């Protein structure tokens, strides 16, 4: 029997629009099916950058045509993206598994992720989302309670916070599906950000980093391995220079040295490495892997990728 594995799919695994997404998930499903066929229990998380942007922009434009149409909260846009990405991905993966004689159900869970309302990120929103606005539109958006900032002379854009995830609300459902021997897709787009108000969960206008949310989920399902999938086969230092070096492994101490030397780009490789580190040091025996989708199975076999361990 293989390991319990949480996969964090990068944006390149899903395409940028409806047509490319339907094609991309077919190839993505082949790589995931390889892991399942090898006997691993698999939980799949994914990004939603292009998709949630498309949904948000569509509702924004419709609001200009019909001012009576209500503004669509970002939390609901995330929920919509989880559903339609999950729909494509679960069907493609189910088909691939059945083609291999593997009869497992694949289920997408609309996933909420608790964040701390006092997270410092809410005091300084920096994540741009939605279309550019002129001054009048920016003023109207501000009246609706949005934070709007001027963007390098190109116009105004809404910015939202990116708070750290605290816990996964639907974790018991995710565990139950796993324990039944089935495949689950969860925490799409980093999850729907919510804050707790007694027994009530209130959606907030924020974006949770997909890799950090996937890390929290990996810890909560007691995964053996957390795999962060990206466009490259291994992590590199001195990237893009003649001294570029591909890394096969890093422990926490070594990773912190590289971070201190600014080896990993913020908003790109840095959060992936930090999430992988967080999982690796969360419990004895846990290991993280950063590699490409196509090399995931080879990575688990120790043939490629960058492994991150506590020591």
**Residue 249 β-bridge partners:** 307
Separation CA 307–CA 254 (nearest Å): 12
Coil vs helix vs strand at 217: helix
Separation of CA 272 from chain center: 10
The Cα-based distances of 33 to 28, 41, 55, 106, 175 in angstroms read 9, 11, 29, 11, 20
Torsion sign (Cα): 55, 59, 60, 64: positive
Write out the catalytic residue numbers.
Answer: 11-12, 127, 210, 272
Structure tokens at 98: 């059945």
Q: Over the range 66-100, which residues count as b (16 or more CB within 10 Å of their CB) and which as e?
A: eeeeeebebbebbbbbbebbbebbbebbbebbeee
Number of helices (H), then strands (E), belonging to the chain: the values are 9, 17
Q: How far is CA 67 from CA 22, 129, 144, 250, 264, in A?
A: 33, 21, 13, 54, 44
90: CB partners within 8 A, 6+ apart: 106, 107, 108, 185
């Amino acid at each position: 029997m293989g390991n319990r594995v949480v996969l964090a799919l990068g944006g390149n695994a899903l395409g940028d629009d409806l047509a490319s997404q339907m094609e991309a998930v077919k190839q993505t499903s082949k790589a995931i099916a390889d892991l399942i066929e090898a006997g691993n229990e698999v939980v799949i998380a994914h990004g939603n950058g292009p998709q949630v942007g498309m949904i948000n922009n569509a509702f924004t434009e419709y609001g200009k045509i019909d001012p009576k149409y209500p503004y669509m909260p970002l939390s609901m846009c995330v929920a919509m993206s989880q559903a339609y990405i999950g729909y494509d991905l679960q069907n493609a993966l189910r088909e691939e598994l059945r083609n291999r004689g593997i009869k497992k159900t694949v289920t997408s869970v609309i996933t909420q992720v608790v964040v701390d309302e006092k997270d410092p990120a809410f005091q300084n929103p920096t994540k741009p989302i939605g279309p550019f606005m002129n001054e009048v539109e920016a003023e109207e958006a501000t009246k609706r309670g949005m934070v709007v900032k001027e963007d390098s002379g190109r116009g105004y854009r809404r910015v939202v916070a990116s708070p750290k995830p605290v816990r996964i609300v639907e974790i018991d459902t995710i565990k139950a599906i796993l324990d039944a021997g089935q495949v689950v897709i969860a925490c799409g787009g980093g999850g729907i950000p919510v804050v707790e108000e007694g027994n009530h969960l209130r959606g907030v206008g924020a974006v949770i980093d997909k890799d950090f949310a996937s890390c929290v989920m990996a810890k909560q399902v007691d995964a053996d391995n957390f795999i962060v999938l990206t466009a490259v086969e291994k992590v590199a230092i001195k990237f893009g220079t003649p001294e570029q070096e591909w890394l096969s492994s890093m422990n926490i101490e070594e990773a912190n040295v590289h971070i201190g030397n600014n080896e990993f780009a913020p908003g790109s490789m840095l959060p992936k490495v930090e999430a992988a580190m967080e999982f690796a040091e969360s419990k004895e025996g846990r290991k993280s892997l950063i590699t490409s989708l196509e090399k995931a199975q080879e990575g688990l076999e120790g043939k490629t990728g960058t492994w991150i361990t506590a020591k």
